[in-house]
Amino acid sequence: MIYPIEIIREKINKEYLKKFLDKPFKEVVKFVADIKREVIAFGGELHSDAQELLVEEGSDVRNLWGGTIFLPENGEKAIIEYSALINIKPSQGSFSMDIKDKKITEKIGKALKDLIIDL
């Protein structure tokens, strides 16, 4: 089964993100952020699927970093994790699924806050 992925360039809200829930994960929306172009692809089963879509749209893979937003059903605050297989980039000094570089997580956090008005 193919799960929807959408590149977000304009402001959305958390309610909009909920359309990606249960496709395939119950409380989780995967994302891949282009920290140079400041666009984010949401959805899909694998981060690599969203990464591929962004590359097709002109992103440089060196600027793409993945993570997950947990949207609890009970309405609690969303939780962001900066972890994905696509984050392993030895040529860029990233040897872990978790993003260790604070500058990168800050850029992703800013892009998320700029695009999701109530995150």
Give the pLDDT confidence score for residue 1 in this predicted structure: 63
* Its pTM surpasses 0.85: yes
Using the predicted structure, report yes or no on whether residue 75 has a pLDDT greater than 80: no
Average pLDDT in the 84-109 region?
A: 97
- Give the position of tokens 């962001």: 80
Those residues with Cβ within 8 angstroms of residue 88's Cβ, 6 or more apart along the chain or in another chain: 94, 95, 96, 97
Using the predicted structure, report yes or no on whether residue 103 has a pLDDT greater than 80: yes
Please write the tens of the pLDDT for every residue from 45-71. Answer: 999 999 999 999 999 999 999 999 999
Residue 69, CA atoms < 13 Å, CB-side half-sphere:
27
Give the pLDDT confidence score for residue 119 in this predicted structure: 80
Domain of residue 38 covers: 5-115
Structural domain count of the chain: 1
